[in-house]
Structure formats: structure tokens, C-alpha cells
Amino acid sequence: MFITHNKVRMHDTDMAGILYFARQFRYVHDALEDLVEKEGLNFDYLFNNSSYVFVIVHAEADYLASLKVGDVLEIHVEVENMGRSSFTMSYKIFKADKTLVGKAKTVHVCLESKNRTKIPIPEDLKKIFGKYLVEK
């Protein structure tokens, strides 16, 4: 499991002063970027110089409790499933007091970067994401 942190900012909230529900997707994508960068990959390189990209084809989230400006978040990231050309990421968002406040999943498909056709998950990604694969 990979763990990272974030904080609810004023621009993340709605008129009621609580987290706008769609911001969960920003937090989980930030967590994915943190994981990828920790493993030595760089999104700029991946999307501009690599022979492949991985794109989100499905996303879902459950908003379990409100968050307000200043709340510190701990985000747990795991790989739930790895197929031939796709993988599913699972995220849990906790407040500092360990209350589970949100869950999300994203499904990613690997594409050849020039013509955007589906390809098998490249070995370097398998190695990286395999470290976070949930044992079933």
C-alpha cells in the first residue's frame, strides 16, 4: 500500500464550506501522481516522450463524510487488479483522526502513445504497480 497526504483547501469547498464531492477525484489523482513520482516515473515524460500512456477509462467515488477547510487527509492507494492492458486502482481517504471519509476507484488502460491503440501493460509499469497489488 502507498500512503500520501493532502489538505482540504478553500478552493476545494462549496458554498456550504464543505468539500465539493468531485474534488475527491483530484485528491486520488494527486495520490496516483505521488506514487508514480516516488517510483521514479514522471507524468511529463510519460505523456510527451514515452512509447505508451495510461489513461483513465472509468472512475467512481463514494463520499462518506464531510470535510472542511484545513482537514488533513491521508490517502491509501492500492492496485486492486491488473489485467492484460488495464489495471484498477483503489483509494481510501481518511481524516487525521483515521475516520474513513471517501473511497474511489479508477480503471486505467495502457495505450501506444502515437496511435492511441490498446497495448499490454508495459513491463516497467507491471513492476511498479505490482508492488501495490492487493493479495486476494
**Cα atoms in the 13 Å half-sphere on the side-chain side of 100:** 8
Domains of the chain: 2-131 (3.10.129.10)
| Residue of 14, 30, 97, 124 with catalytic role | 14
Give the pLDDT of residue 135.
81
In the block, residue with C-alpha cell 482540504: 8
Q: Give me the phi and psi of 74, to 5 degrees please.
A: -115, 125
Give the pLDDT of residue 19.
85
127 or 20, greater pLDDT: 127
Q: 43-76 burial, b for 16+ CB within 10 Å, e for fewer?
A: eeebeeebebbbeeeeeebebeeebeeebebbbb
Give the pLDDT of residue 131.
95
The fraction of the chain above a pLDDT of 70, given in percent, is: 99
Q: How far apart are CA 20 and CA 27, in angstroms?
A: 12
Above 90 in pLDDT, residue 112? yes
Q: Model confidence over 31-74: pLDDT tens digits?
A: 999 999 999 988 888 777 788 999 999 999 999 999 999 999 99
In the block, residue with C-alpha cell 514522471: 42
CA 83 to chain centre: 17
Q: For this structure, is 62 an active site residue? A: no
What is the gyration radius of the CA atoms in the chain, in angstroms? 16
Task: Name the β-bridge partners of 59.
Answer: 106
Above 80 in pLDDT, residue 29? yes
Q: How far apart are CA 19 and CA 1, in angstroms?
A: 25
